[in-house]
Amino acid sequence: MLGLIGPNGAGKSSLLKIIAGIVEPSAGELLVNGHALRRLPGLERARSIAYLAQAGTAHWPITVARVVALGRLPHLGSWRNASAEDLRVIEAALRRTDLLELSERPFPTLSGGEKARVLLARALAVEPNTLLADEPVAALDLSHQLEVMDLLRQHCNEGGAVLVVLHDLRLAAHYCDRLHLLYQGRTLATGTPASVINDVNLAQAYGVSIRRAGGSLADAFALTWSKIGHSAP
């Protein structure tokens, strides 16, 4: 799991949209497994890369189950109805995200946290090799934040890849194998959480200092930080 971190406006969401093929890069070429992304057939790209947008960007006037079923579209082809296997995948995605009881609810009536879980279920229904997640836990309470991150971690454990935008550095340090710190549209640091989350990088990117429990990242949830020039609470 690769985490994209950095302050607002650093370019995290823009980078994710470029990888997803939603926007074109202003310069350069994006390669996926050694192949130029823009040359991949659209259907192949849609089957291999799932994009999980921020919850507030979707306003579909359909039920939760129908939203999740949209994840199967790349597998249906022209004029093919959903098969028993498609329905199994959809139900499994609803179950994994704790949404079975909400499956017939209209999507617009859900809370922000519920919408975020629906969009994750839709992405999981694609069964992608790579899952791109833009702030997937931003609207969730702590319990569902951990559940969502556990699901993303599970996708990696099953052989997939996850590229996730996160603002919570504790979650990033705890769940991600590697971090990519962006600042003003450029890469400031990349590597393991222990090598990226340090005083020098965070002072430049965020204007904060960091304190680690026991002097290490062994307990990522014990990280605390404070604005430079102020004492930690």
The confidence score (pLDDT) of residue 66 equals 95
The confidence score (pLDDT) of residue 69 equals 94
Please list, in sequence order, all residues whose beta carbon lies within 8 angstroms of the beta carbon of residue 98, skipping any fewer than 6 positions away: 117, 147
Alpha carbon distance 91, 103 (integer Å): 9
Convert 51-86 to b/e letters by CB count within 10 Å (16 or more is b).
Answer: bbbbbeeeeeeebbbbbbbebbebbeeeeeeeeeeb
Alpha carbon distance 228, 146 (integer Å): 29
**Which DSSP string corresponds to 26-85?**
SSS--EETTEEGGGS-HHHHHHHEEEE--GGG----SBHHHHHHGGGHHHH-TTPPP-HH
Q: Mind listing the pLDDT tens digit for each residue in 128-174? A: 999 999 999 987 888 888 888 999 999 999 999 999 999 999 999 99
Could you give all domains of the chain from N- to C-terminal order, each with its CATH number? Answer: 1-36+178-233 (no CATH), 41-166 (3.40.50.300)
User: Residue type for 41, please?
Assistant: P
The confidence score (pLDDT) of residue 132 equals 96
**Distances, alpha carbon 53 to alpha carbons 29, 56, 90, 132, 188, in Å:** 23, 8, 19, 8, 24
Please list, in sequence order, all residues whose beta carbon lies within 8 angstroms of the beta carbon of residue 164, skipping any fewer than 6 positions away: 1, 2, 3, 4, 132, 133, 136, 152, 176
The confidence score (pLDDT) of residue 166 equals 96
The segments of the chain whose pLDDT lies below 70 read 55-58, 77-79, 210-233
Alpha carbon distance 105, 85 (integer Å): 23
Q: Mind listing the pLDDT tens digit for each residue in 42-59? A: 777 877 899 998 766 667
Q: What is the pTM of this model?
A: 0.82
